[in-house]
Amino acid sequence: MISAPDPRRDPPWLKRLLLVAGLGWLGLLVLAPIVAVFAGALSRGLGPYFSALSDPATLSALKLTLGAALCAVPLNMVFGVAAAWLLARFRFRGRQLILTLVDLPFSVSPVVAGLLLVLVWGRQGWLGPWLSSHGISVVFAWPAVVLATVFVTFPLVVRELLPSMEEQGSSEEEAALMLGAGAWTMFRRITLPNIRWALLYGVILAATRAIGEFGAVSVVSGHVRGETNTLPLHVEILHNEFRFQAAFAAATLLIFLSAAAVAGKAALERKAHR
Amino acid sequence: MKGRHLPGFGLSLGIVAFWLSFVVLIPLSALVLKAFDLSPAQWVEILGAPRVVSAFRVSLACSLAAAALNAVFGPVVAWILIRYPFPGKAFADALVDMPFALPTAVAGITLSSLWGPRGWFGAPLMELGIPVAYTPLGIVLALAFVGLPFAVRTVQPVLEELPGEVEEAASLLGASRLQVLRRIILPALRPAILAGFALSFARGLGEFGSVVFIAGNLPGRTEIVPLLVMQKLEEFRTAEASALGAAMLLLSFGLLFPVNWLQARLRKEKG
Amino acid sequence: MSISIRGVSKTFGAFQALKDVSLEIPDGELVALLGPSGGGKTTLLRSIAGLETPNSGQILFGGRDETLSRPQERGVGFVFQHYALFRHMTVFENIAFGLRVKPKHERLPEEEIRAKVDELLKLIQLDWIAQRYPDQLSGGQRQRVALARALAPRPSFLLLDEPFGALDTLVRKELRRWLRQLHEELRMTSIFVTHDQDEALELADRIVVMMDGRVAQSGTPDEVYDRPATPAVYRFLGDVNLFHGRVAGGAFLHHPTAPDGEDAATAYVRPHELEVERFRTSEDAIDTVLLHAWALGPKVRLELRRRDNSDLMEADVNRDRYRNLGLAAGDQVWVTPRSLRVFRAEDEVAI
């Protein structure tokens, strides 16, 4: 049997070259660093690895990290759904401005984000004097960690929801209204089920970013061990104290969290493709 | 106004306006006001200081180099992920997302140990007389790491939706495979590659966590702008930090604008 | 219930979609809103449903002003162009939705809801796929589910936006017949939007032709087809031949090219209204050459070129007649219009 050559097939030498270049780059740049973390963490065997993980400072850092994410992500979830509804379903003056402002935290360096928070909430900031006279400390305390996390995860949920809502169009929602559904029923029974995967996806992204944020949190936290020290900051401290094995051990925790997020994202994408 | 018959306009506008002001607008205006406190002479003094100038030079040059590397390798990675079957493809696809998901501090410590003078890659290179850690090369590497997902993920969907008929038509008209790649596929990908380049560049300018560990932070040589902002803040020189922060913001807006324009064009091309 | 539309206008930015539209739709009629795209028919339908709010004018249901009421309160059944089925609900749940979202005191007990949905499923002959999801259905099945869903809460009217637009010819034909039967049974005031004149002519009790944001004509299918109000309506409702000429003493005089002057006019003739002969039998006969002939179902369409001004014309003859004429391409053919509709500019002149 004679078969015509597939016109979309690349010559073998080109295919080999691109595969080597692409996979080589991925391996060198991404895979090797991840492997190196585990190698560093296990460099003294399993015993020291687990004892580094059960160190009270590491555990409290993990708790603070998860706590900040648990505060910031639901807040941004509510905001994200509201903003996506507003931007996808209505055309009004000022819409473009809101779009730009929503995207803004993406383009702000995490360090500058921290600076912004210091300027408002810090001791010399706008609200600083009032806050300190009432005995409330924000900067160098856990509220600042939450605020920084909110800032950096701000656009993520909206960004996932907006295209999905726009693509779906409003006719299912209109149909629900025509059938007599009220606003809340429409939202709960039609809108929410339709955006649930995009929402989950956005929440995963936001949670990942929240857990891993370093620069912004670094500026506002004050590195108070056991109180404002998130896991990424804890990794930095251990590294600066030349306790490399412990630093890498704590880093594996963060890698597990990121890998879980990436796996969740991949699973959602497969679901969306089907 | 479109869609006034749909409910929830007032409520969602209220939530968005409140949350935007609280999280973005008020902090941003604090920065703007702080920056206005400075006289023009002070601005010149702060931004013209040799250490600041060279920090900007390092940040810009390294981000550009990293974005350029990604503009080459990003599309290659996207191409093999879309077009070639190979074992472990799903794993490779997931790896692309890791720089985005991995905390930057973790990236920082592992890159600095890997490419440091005693690391797996750093040691042999050191023998060849090429130091990586604590040089601009190390910064470029860290920035290439954080920018990679942007470069791949902007190109990937465009490549996926490229209609196969176009390639078939070109080869029926007598074009060789290389001609098809160069004259049909590459031009179609160009806006996406450019957008990926710009996103990776913008991300690189602001990046902090993954860079500080590998850079060595020698003033004038491997010190980046975000680190300088950090230091000014630690010394409670808020005004100077604000001036630098405002300059960085302006720089990223200068980038954001063309990027948004490019992406709007991409969306239009996709239909 | 009857619907009155009084002076309704609607603009989108700089685009005026509806220009002072007034229309009366009597109770129980099946009405087609027919016209080219961009003519305003969908905007009018959505305004009646409450999905658009007019900039001015009034919409009345049975004499009650509903211009500003919310879509939920209008009691309108709406079938969307792409059906807008709830993709995460089964066919059964889709149809039950309108019954389930009623306020507690109006809501039927669960068994009655089930019974009613089952009844509707039988009506649309899809009771065997009640538990499927919309993406497991064919286009025709989706269409019927959308219709059943709209009918479930017992609306006062049924509005359908391009109901057959996305279906292939065979399914379309079957569904048309089915919709017509359904209307005979329910006698519910129904309005559907279409750009297909055959669909409108076959189904509707009344056709409203919408063009350029206005009602160009409203009448029974026969009125609209046989006595189009404007040349534009004429052209939209089927193939047409056009003759230039003058109006003099109540008669139309043919003229090879478009003449100037007050009495200049254009006459329109449908292809089946032309008499075709091998020889000249009347004064008015036009000298043409046969270019091409092809079978079009029971009739044969002739493509002709006028000898005097080289304009193209189309004429229909039945198959027997075509065989008797024994025509071949290149033959001379004499054509006489049996009836003419003459317009001076956009105004009709009675001849």
pLDDT at site B152: 94
Q: What per-residue confidence (pLDDT) applies to A20?
A: 92
A58-89 pLDDT, tens digit each: 888 888 889 999 999 999 999 999 999 999 99
Q: How confident is the model over C275-304, as a mean pLDDT?
A: 87
Q: Minimal Cα–Cα distance from B42 to chain A, Å?
A: 19
- Provide the β-strand partners of residue C303: C292, C314
- Which two structure tokens, joined as six digits, stand for A62? 């993990």
Query: How many other CB atoms are found less than 10 A from the CB of residue B255?
Result: 18
Q: What is the ipTM of this complex?
A: 0.86
3 state SS of C203: helix
Higher pLDDT: C97 or C70? It is C97
Please say whether the structural domain C3-236 has been given the CATH code 3.40.50.300.
yes
Give the model's pLDDT for residue B2.
47
Taking only residues 230 to 269 of chain A, the set having a beta carbon closer than 8 angstroms to any beta carbon of chain B reads 231-233, 235-236, 239, 244, 247-248, 251, 254-255, 258-259, 261-263, 265-266
Nearest to C82 among A171, A177, A190 (CB): A171
Tokens of C320: 């027997």
d(C-alpha B92, C-alpha B106), whole Å:
20
pLDDT, mean of each 10-residue run, chain B (271 residues)? 71 92 90 86 88 92 94 94 89 89 90 88 87 88 93 90 74 72 84 88 89 84 89 85 90 78 68 46
Evaluated on CA atoms C308, C310, C311, C314, the torsion sign reads positive
Using CA atoms, how far apart are residues C165 and C82, in angstroms rounded to an integer? 9
Statement: residue C133 has pLDDT above 80: yes
CB A86 within 8 A of CB A191: no
Distance to chain A for C35, nearest Cα, Å: 22
What is the structure's pLDDT at C221?
92
Count of all residues that appear for chain C in the document: 351
Strand order in the sheet with C332-337: C274-277, C332-337, C286-296, C299-306, C312-318
In 3D, which of C166, C164, C92, C81 has the Cα closest to residue C134? C92
8 Å CB contact of A265 and B97: yes
**What's the mean per-residue pLDDT of chain C?**
87
B36 touches chain A (CB under 8 A): no
Note whether A166 contacts B: Cβ–Cβ < 8 A: no
Q: For C135-169, b where at least 16 C-beta lie within 10 A, e where not — what string?
A: eebebbbbbbbbbbbbbbbebbbbbbbbbbeebee
| Residue A222 CB neighbours (<10 A) | 16
> What residues pair up with C3 in beta bridges, in sequence order?
C25, C61
Residue type, C67: T
So what's the pLDDT on residue B166? 72
Domain ranges of chain A: 13-42, 46-273
Q: C238: left (phi > 0), else alpha (psi -120 to 50), else beta?
A: left
How confident is the model at residue A274, as a pLDDT?
56
* pLDDT tens digit sequence for B107-149: 999 999 899 888 888 888 888 888 888 888 999 999 999 999 9
pLDDT of res. A97: 86
Residue C100: how many other CB atoms lie within 10 Å: 19
Q: Is A178 in a helix, a strand, or coil?
A: helix
The CA distance from B240 to B48, in Å, is: 12
Q: How far apart are CA A122 and CA A12, in angstroms?
A: 61
Hunting for tokens 């279409």 — which residue is that? Answer: C194
Interchain contact B121–A (C-beta under 8 A):
yes
Task: Determine whether the interchain pair A174/C102 forms a contact, defined as Cβ–Cβ distance below 8 Å.
Answer: no
Task: Identify all chain A residues contacting C51, using CB atoms and an 8 Å cutoff.
Answer: 174, 178
Please report the pLDDT score of residue A6 as a whole number.
Answer: 56
Which residues of C fall within a CB distance of 8 Å from A176? Answer: 86, 97, 101
Note the pLDDT tens digit of each residue in C254-270.
Answer: 777 777 777 788 888 88
CATH architecture of structural domain C241-349: Beta Barrel (2.40)
DSSP symbol at A4: P
Separate counts of helices (H) and strands (E) for chain B = 14, 0
- Domain residue limits, chain C: 3-236, 241-349
Sign of the CA dihedral C7, C11, C15, C17? negative
- Locate the chain A residue with the closest alpha carbon to C74: A178
Quote the pLDDT of residue A4.
46
CATH of segment(s) A46-273: 1.10.3720.10
pLDDT for the residue A22: 92
The predicted-structure confidence for A22-69, as pLDDT tens digits, reads as follows 999 999 999 999 999 888 888 888 888 888 888 888 888 888 889 999
B5 vs C: CB within 8 A? yes
- The matching CATH number, chosen from 3.20.20.70, 1.10.3720.10, 3.40.50.300, 1.10.287.3510, for B39-270 is 1.10.3720.10
Choose among A209, A228, A200, A97: nearest CA to B24: A97
Cα–chain center distance at C230: 16
Under the banding of pLDDT at 50, 70 and 90, the label for residue C146 is very high
Sign of CA dihedral B211, B216, B222, B225: positive
As a whole number of angstroms, the longest Cα–Cα distance in chain C is: 79
Q: Confidence band (pLDDT; 50, 70, 90) for A1?
A: very low
Cα separation values, C338 from C87, C318, C350, Å:
55, 15, 15
Say what the pLDDT of residue B118 is.
Answer: 85
- The Cα–Cα gap between C121 and C145 comes to 8
Query: Most A CBs within 10 Å: which of C66, C72, C157, as the mutation test of the A interface?
Result: C72
Residue B17 Cα to chain centre, angstroms: 28
Chain position carrying tokens 């043919």: C254
Backbone angles phi, psi at C330, to 5 degrees: 95, -15
Query: The tokens 């470029």 sit on which residue?
Result: B140
pLDDT in tens, C291-329: 998 888 889 999 999 988 888 889 999 888 888 888 888
CB contact under 8 A, A193 and C152: no
pLDDT digit string, tens, across residues C157-187: 899 998 887 788 888 888 888 888 889 988 8
Single-letter amino acid code for the residue at A176 = A
Of A209, A258, A206, residue with least CA distance to A77: A206
Using one digit for the tens of pLDDT, what is the confidence trace for A211-231?
A: 888 888 888 876 655 667 888
Edge to edge, the sheet with strand C3-12 lists C15-25, C3-12, C56-61, C64-65
Q: What is the CA radius of gyration of chain B?
A: 22
Q: Cα separation of C195 and C36, whole Å? A: 6
CA atoms within 13 A on the CB side of B124: 3
Residue identified by tokens 């880093």 is: A251
